Chains A and B, each alone.
Chain A
């Protein structure tokens, strides 16, 4: 059989971001996929050492414009543990709300992009229309749609008024009802045809390749860092969403249920919201090493932070969920999928290249 090589990317209509896959194909079947990265590498980890630790919050936020909340949460939690301080309870709840809003907007965004990759344009348009309401809610709380800079070292920068909390409740009702409107998509024959049995990753493979987040949870691995109870998650009631489909459809289903879970978590936060301070001020030196892990929309986000007692940090290492999910994606692609399914498979793990390459 003749093997031919197809390069997929870096500028490709279905990917909003540049990544290249070099596909070795026999007829229509992909037998090997090699990811090529580096198109969006900036060198942020080095820049962390050059700036003031307070300014680094804005840098951490801009590692990924889709999930700024988890990135800043992980960073400030690491710095806080270096300083030996803890955020007040109200600040923790506000952080949790922002993280969950972030998850909702990210999952809706992903659902739309999947529709786009399948060729279901109107679904993409509808989901993104609903997503705007979530962004509006974020803007009302923080003052910005995308990069909201809510976290500060020792707490959060803005308090939420009762009015904002009530408004948030209304937005959640709206989002819930609008998601019900488009839930039929999950039962649609064409969508099932395009996703079921496509991009199979068995539980064994997921463990071997180190998959994280919804990709792992769709392969039957119950792994969700929120159960470790950081921030306010310890007080909230929830179970990780796990399905056993092991394919692109499973990953779709996990995210769909997580949307509902996040809405529920925000409602719980609103009810349980404690009163009090939102910021613990401290000038403690940053000395030693800290590890902080946060469940981002795409999976486990890991920060390693090292300080040497001076005004600047010595080293910050970031390991993002997409980085962990690249090897599982290569496993999925190399099983002999069709070239037309490559975009669906790659999108099904929700790639975020800009945070992977930093």
Chain B
């Protein structure tokens, strides 16, 4: 592993974009960065610049106005990259599913790799989601990623709770794949 690959995994930088969330998920993401949960122990820093970031955290459902912003941000991030949908809204539109301005979850616009359900998910669940996404990032980087047969990765949110069937969170859309994404080796 070269220095670039190693630093990408040991210190991934996250970009957080609030699509149309209620703030509940956003402040939980911010809470992850602060000393109590301290996501920095994984080397994770929050950056405002998409060109510096490896992990995109999307909160809230996509609406007609911010869909282009989300797409732009995603396109500006260098590959390999992973996208995490935070909260019920980011996954499917959640409680706002019947609002006229909501298109659905983030997977309507960008391919989502990890779903973190909850309204809002606890910071522990968000950290778990990021760690799961890093695993995927590692495989994407090595070109060894295989889509799991059980569908997209969904974080279990409560201790002892049975994970909901993954297809439920996939918004009935075909499971998004990132295999087409160029890895650094190919690029």
Which residues of the other chain, A, contact B35 by a CB distance below 8 angstroms? Answer: 125-126, 128-129
Which residues of the other chain, A, contact B100 by a CB distance below 8 angstroms? Answer: 43, 46
Task: Find A41's partner among B17, B98, B101 (CB 8 Å cutoff).
Answer: B101
Q: Chain A interface: which size bin?
A: 35 or more
Whether the pair B69, A62 counts as a contact (CB closer than 8 A) is: no
Contact A18/B66 with A42-B102, A44-B99, A128-B34 known, Cβ cut-off 8 Å: yes
Q: Taking the complex as formed, is A197 at the interface, i.e. its CB lies under 8 A from any CB of chain B?
A: no
Interface size counted on chain B using CB atoms at 8 A: 39
Whether the pair A66, B27 counts as a contact (CB closer than 8 A) is: yes
Q: Taking the complex as formed, is A191 at the interface, i.e. its CB lies under 8 A from any CB of chain B?
A: no
Whether the pair A42, B99 counts as a contact (CB closer than 8 A) is: yes
CA distance A124 to B22 in the complex (A): 22
Nearest neighbor of A47 in chain B, beta-carbon distance: B99
Whether the pair B99, A62 counts as a contact (CB closer than 8 A) is: no
Q: Taking the complex as formed, is A50 at the interface, i.e. its CB lies under 8 A from any CB of chain B?
A: yes
CA distance A272 to B32 in the complex (A): 37
Whether the pair B21, A40 counts as a contact (CB closer than 8 A) is: yes
Nearest neighbor of B96 in chain A, beta-carbon distance: A42
Which residues of the other chain, B, contact A39 by a CB distance below 8 angstroms? Answer: 20, 63, 65-66, 69
Whether the pair B22, A64 counts as a contact (CB closer than 8 A) is: yes
Chain B 11-51 against A: per-residue CB contact (8 Å), 1 yes, 0 no?
00000111111111111101100111000000000011110
Task: Find A146's partner among B27, B73, B102 (CB 8 Å cutoff).
Answer: B27
Q: Taking the complex as formed, is A254 at the interface, i.e. its CB lies under 8 A from any CB of chain B?
A: no
Q: Taking the complex as formed, is A287 at the interface, i.e. its CB lies under 8 A from any CB of chain B?
A: no
Chain B 145-180 against A: per-residue CB contact (8 Å), 1 yes, 0 no?
000000000000000000000000000000000000
Whether the pair B66, A10 counts as a contact (CB closer than 8 A) is: yes
Which residues of the other chain, A, contact B22 by a CB distance below 8 angstroms? Answer: 62-65, 354
Q: How many A-B contacts at CB < 8 Å in the complex?
A: 120
Q: Taking the complex as formed, is B77 at the interface, i.e. its CB lies under 8 A from any CB of chain A?
A: no
Task: Find A38's partner among B16, B24, B65, B96 (CB 8 Å cutoff).
Answer: B65
CA distance A310 to B135 in the complex (A): 53
Whether the pair A11, B73 counts as a contact (CB closer than 8 A) is: yes
Whether the pair B26, A125 counts as a contact (CB closer than 8 A) is: no
Q: Taking the complex as formed, is B120 at the interface, i.e. its CB lies under 8 A from any CB of chain A?
A: yes
CA distance A357 to B102 in the complex (A): 13
Distance (whole angstroms) from the CB of B102 to the closest CB of chain A: 6
Contact A354/B34 with A40-B60, A145-B122, A146-B28 known, Cβ cut-off 8 Å: no
Contact A129/B34 with A18-B66, A62-B24, A146-B28 known, Cβ cut-off 8 Å: yes
Chain A 112-146 against B: per-residue CB contact (8 Å), 1 yes, 0 no?
10000000000011101100100100000000011
CA distance A25 to B122 in the complex (A): 42
Task: Find A43's partner among B19, B28, B66, B101 (CB 8 Å cutoff).
Answer: B101
CA distance A126 to B35 in the complex (A): 8
Ranked nearest first, the 9 interchain pairs of A and B with the lowest CB-CB distance are A65-B24, A13-B48, A128-B34, A65-B23, A43-B99, A40-B20, A65-B22, A62-B22, A132-B36
A-B contact pairs, 13 of them (CB 8 A): A11-B69, A16-B23, A16-B26, A17-B26, A40-B19, A40-B66, A42-B61, A47-B96, A64-B22, A125-B34, A145-B122, A146-B24, A146-B120
Chain A interface residues (CB < 8 Å from chain B) = 10-14, 16-18, 38-44, 46-47, 50-51, 58-59, 62-66, 68, 109, 112, 124-126, 128-129, 132, 135, 145-147, 352, 354-355, 357
Known: A41-B63, A47-B98, A64-B22. 18 other contacts (CB 8 A): A17-B23, A39-B20, A40-B18, A40-B20, A42-B101, A42-B102, A43-B101, A46-B100, A62-B24, A65-B21, A65-B24, A65-B120, A66-B24, A66-B27, A124-B34, A145-B122, A352-B23, A354-B23
